[in-house]
Structure 1
Amino acid sequence: MEPIPITELKGKAGYELPPLMFYIERGLVNKFAAAVGDLNSRWETEAPPSLIPALGFDQVYEILASAETVAVLHGATDVEFIKPVNIGDTIVMKAVISSARERRTENGITVFVNFNISYINQEAGVVANCRQTALVTRHD
């Protein structure tokens, strides 16, 4: 995915990022569950719900970090979980920039970028919807 310069983010409302696809395999689920300290036996057949909004956001951040001088911070996440994700599912993440608000200061610029994200399984069923905010900052 091509980075978006910070000065262009404000005009990107409605921009659809290329879809990302993830295969939910046991190793991924085990690593995630261990990392968050949740070793529930339920995760032997399905993914912890908190794994879903973590999928792909690192790649979204790469789009926002358009230069070495740009920092990207996670601002907020609001998730609606609709159905479980099982090991063996393929999940497609579809993200749209819903809005971007720019704030200029004497030290630089910060853009508050809001995303609407849908996570869809191989049966075309939505498993989760998410709203995430990223703060994109450049100090001059």
Structure 2
Amino acid sequence: MAAMERIPILELKNKAGYELPPLVFEIDKTLISRFAAAVGDGSPRWQTEAPPSLIPALGFDRVYELLASSEDIAVLHGATEVEFFRNVSLGDTISMKSKIASARERISGGKTTVFVNVDASYTNQLDEPVATCRQTAIVTSK
């Protein structure tokens, strides 16, 4: 995947509505097994199906990349709200569309912190909704 444009911290508060490039993920055995191992869930169910918590994790590394505009910026996970509509199975192709829903800036002690809400929707190869997600990222100058 190509590098994503980075947004400087001082411009974030003006980026509500900014759409991120769409992303596509192939749900294969390697992706599922690595995720299940990372979260310590060895359920045999994950031989044919993706753990639901995998879906909101898809693509959020790209969102962090967008928000981490320099080495002086730290991006932390603040919260996740997700609604699931259907299971994701081995072999599915998941498309993610996301945008910056809102950004609230706070300046304290000479440091800028921006609370960024990113809304994402996930669909499968049949264009059926899989999940929607709102993730809050806390972006701060070091």
TM-score band, normalised by shorter chain: over 0.9
1:91 aligns with one of 94, 100, 112 = 94
Aligned residue pairs: how many? Answer: 139
**1:105: how far off?**
1.2
TM-score by length of 2: 0.95
* Structure 2 unpaired stretches of 5+: none
Task: Indicate the residue corresponding to 1:67 in structure 2.
Answer: 70
**1:30: how far off?**
0.8
Structure 1 Cα separation of the partners of residues 72 and 34 of structure 2: 32
1:36 aligns with one of 36, 39, 47 = 39
Structure 2 Cα separation of the partners of residues 107 and 134 of structure 1: 20
Task: Indicate the residue corresponding to 1:53 in structure 2.
Answer: 56
Structure 2 Cα separation of the partners of residues 51 and 129 of structure 1: 13
In the TM superposition, 1:1-140 aligns within 5 A as 1-139=4-142
SS of 2:19's equivalent in the other structure is coil
**1:106: how far off?**
2.0
Structure 2 Cα separation of the partners of residues 58 and 115 of structure 1: 12
State the one-letter code of the partner of 2:117.
N
Which range is displaced more, 47-56 or 32-41?
32-41
**1:107: how far off?**
3.0
Deviations 1:28-87 (A, max 9, x none): 101111111111111111100001011110111000000110000000001101100011
**1:102: how far off?**
0.2
State the one-letter code of the partner of 1:89.
D
Q: CA RMSD in A?
A: 0.8
Q: Among the aligned pairs, what percent are the same residue?
A: 65
SS of 1:3's equivalent in the other structure is coil
Structure 1 Cα separation of the partners of residues 86 and 49 of structure 2: 11
* Segments of 4+ moved more than 4 angstroms: none
Structure 1 Cα separation of the partners of residues 80 and 54 of structure 2: 13
